[in-house]
Amino acid sequence: MSLAAIKSGERYLADADATAAFGRELAEALRDQRGAVIHLRGTLGAGKTTLARELLRALGVTGTIRSPTYTLMEPYELPERRVLHMDLYRLDAADIEQLGLDDYPPSETLWLVEWPEKGGAGMPKADLDLQLIPMGEGRKLQISTAA
Ligand SMILES: Nc1ncnc2c1ncn2[C@@H]1O[C@H](COP(=O)(O)OP(=O)(O)OP(=O)(O)O)[C@@H](O)[C@H]1O
Ligand SMILES: [Mg+2]
């Protein structure tokens, strides 16, 4: 399977468990795909890290999965691929060079990027853009594929 299994459109995620379930669905879609760039957008507390955490867990990350709130990036080495979980909220776009992102080519690395808009023009473009929008008690999920 590849990201092509995930279709553009809208879904309603009624609670945090539904966000987690979508994370697992995404992991399944990524099974045979090493690299991809996934943007996770939405306001503070929208559920981006919740989604990323469950995706990372389903991909095989064990142990604590920290939010990259202050470190800006948390890399993971898995048997099949590298994963880079980023939160660029606190990034000054001028400092992007210092992250050493060249070591993580998107062809071989799964990029999960919270606050991608803070990364500026140097960021690789998204293969999948996910936007979480608070709605009622839950979240609306807007899925946009690159194609
Ligand atoms: N579909 C949902 N419905 C209701 N609550 C949800 C849903 N998904 C996640 N949440 C809850 O919303 C909160 C989201 O926190 P989370 O850290 O994931 O947000 P974030 O988007 O990463 O924020 P930040 O921009 O600060 O990094 C958590 O308390 C989580 O349980
Ligand atoms: Mg977060």
* CA 45 to ligand 1 center in whole angstroms: 4
The tens digit of pLDDT for each residue in 85-113 reads 999 999 987 788 899 999 999 999 999 99
pTM for the model stands at 0.96
CATH number of 12-145: 3.40.50.300
Shortest-distance Cα residue to atom 16 of ligand 1: 47
CB 18 near ligand 1, within 6 Å: yes
Check pocket membership of 15 for ligand 1, CB cut-off 6 A: yes
For residue 54 and ligand 1, the question of a CB distance below 6 A is answered with no
pLDDT in tens, 14-67: 999 999 999 999 999 999 999 999 999 999 999 999 999 999 999 999 999 999
Edge to edge, the sheet with strand 128-135 lists 9-13, 138-145, 128-135, 36-41, 109-114, 82-87, 73-77
